[in-house]
Amino acid sequence: MQRANDTATAGCIRHDWSLPQVQALFALPFMDLLLRAQQVHRAHHEPNTVQMSTLLSIKTGACPEDCAYCPQSVRYETGLDTQALMEVAAVRDSAVRAKAAGATRFCMGAAYRSPKHKDLVVIAQMIREVRALGLESCATLGMLTPQQAQELKAAGLDYYNHNLDTSAEFYGEIISTRTYQDRLDTLAAVRAAGLNVCCGGIIGMGETLADRAQLLRTLANLPAHPESVPINQLVKVPGTPLANCADVDPFDFVRTIAVARLLMPRAHVRLSAGREQMSDELQALCFLAGANSIFYGEKLLTTGNPDVAADRSLFERLGLTPEALKDAAAVTATAAAR
């Protein structure tokens, strides 16, 4: 294994990480890793500032894919109420509430393998409505063709979320209905369309430390780093094959955030699913390790998230401030909508 000192030039934007180099970062003493991550964080981001995204499931359940972690797969008995694609007006109402609560980005998730044309037309309208409110828009709709990615871009979409989830090596244990290469192809289509890329993974599915290192290495070695990197802790949903996975060592979760911060210095690293199961102290360590984005609001897609009051209190106790919108066009739209 290589020495981390030789390899981790603080804050360099690199796309040529080797596995031993990334593993050397994971192997650093915890305090050294966190110090380094916080230094890189402060070189590239406003300290004590956290971006806030709100999620809405616009089409829920009955998904044909077999992702072993997911309560929305048709293959597992999770007791989930399925819901067809929502009406545009209801999505708009939800976005209005998210904005009033303080979110700056509204993320629409759909349980699709890939979206159908007629649904994409409706979703394009949802995106226009969200943008008109002065919110950034994000969608996660499964696999996209280059043409579909362009259509979403034309509707004004800002971000597309499509996760690699884990390493290429472990991936086959989790999903059989589409390949790792399918995911990389969608990411390439999203990038080619000029959309911001939101791409990360899940920790706690039974993967090894090497798998975590490979996931982050694959993300960092993409031709351009994702603008947003969600690190989810598995939400263990009864009825899914991963319902009884062992708990993640919280320090290992923090390490994953820190290494993501070191490998992708400019990205927003999102402390994503799993916050409801975390203590305030653990979340604080994740922010110290370089996390600077969260999902904000009572619900993720189908599972719970800390409520708004709890997050406001946490931010106040830690001296954290929500990140303001930087995009001038969005700010103008915000003003116009008032």
Instruction: Decide if 245 is catalytic.
Output: no
On whether the CB atoms of residues 274 and 240 are closer than 8 A, the answer is no
* Residue 66 or 323 having the CB closest to ligand SF4: 66
Please pick, among 105, 255, 270, 275, the residue that the annotation labels catalytic.
Answer: 270
- The pair of structure tokens assigned to 109 is 């998730």
* Residue 234 contact, options ligand SAM, ligand SF4, ligand DTB, none, Cβ 5-8 Å cut-off depending on partner type: ligand SAM
Question: Among 108, 273, 286, 289, which residue sits at the site for ligand SAM (rule: CB under 6 A)?
Answer: 273
Q: How far is the CB of 309 from ligand SF4 (least distance, A)?
A: 29
Measure the CA–CA gap between 325 and 335, rounded to whole angstroms. 12
Is 12 annotated in the active site?
no
d(CA 135, CA 96): 9
Assess 234 for contact with ligand SAM (CB under 6 A): yes
Is residue 283 within the footprint of ligand SAM (CB under 6 A)?
Answer: no
Footprint (CB under 6 A) of ligand SF4, residues 43-72: 63, 65, 67, 70, 72
Q: CA-CA distance, 191 to 105, in Å (whole number)? A: 19
Segments of the chain assigned E as strands:
49-59, 105-110, 136-140, 159-161, 196-198, 201-203, 228-233, 268-271, 291-295, 321-322
- Closest to ligand SF4 by CB, 51 or 73: 73
Compare residues 17 and 295 and give the one whose CB is closer to ligand SAM. Answer: 295
Asked whether 254 and 13 are in contact (CB, 8 A), the reply is: no
DSSP 176-240: -SS-HHHHHHHHHHHHHTTPEEE--EEE-SS--HHHHHHHHHHHHTSSS--SEEEEEEP---TTS
**Could you give the CA distance from residue 48 to residue 46 in angstroms, rounded to a whole number?**
7
Shortest Å distance, C-beta 303 to ligand DTB: 4
Q: Enumerate binding residues for ligand SF4 (CB under 6 A).
A: 63, 65, 67, 70, 72-73, 111, 113, 142
**Any idea which residues carry the catalytic annotation?**
63, 67, 70, 107, 138, 198, 270
Q: Enumerate binding residues for ligand SAM (CB under 6 A).
A: 69-70, 109, 111-112, 140, 142, 162-163, 165, 202, 232, 234-235, 237, 273, 301
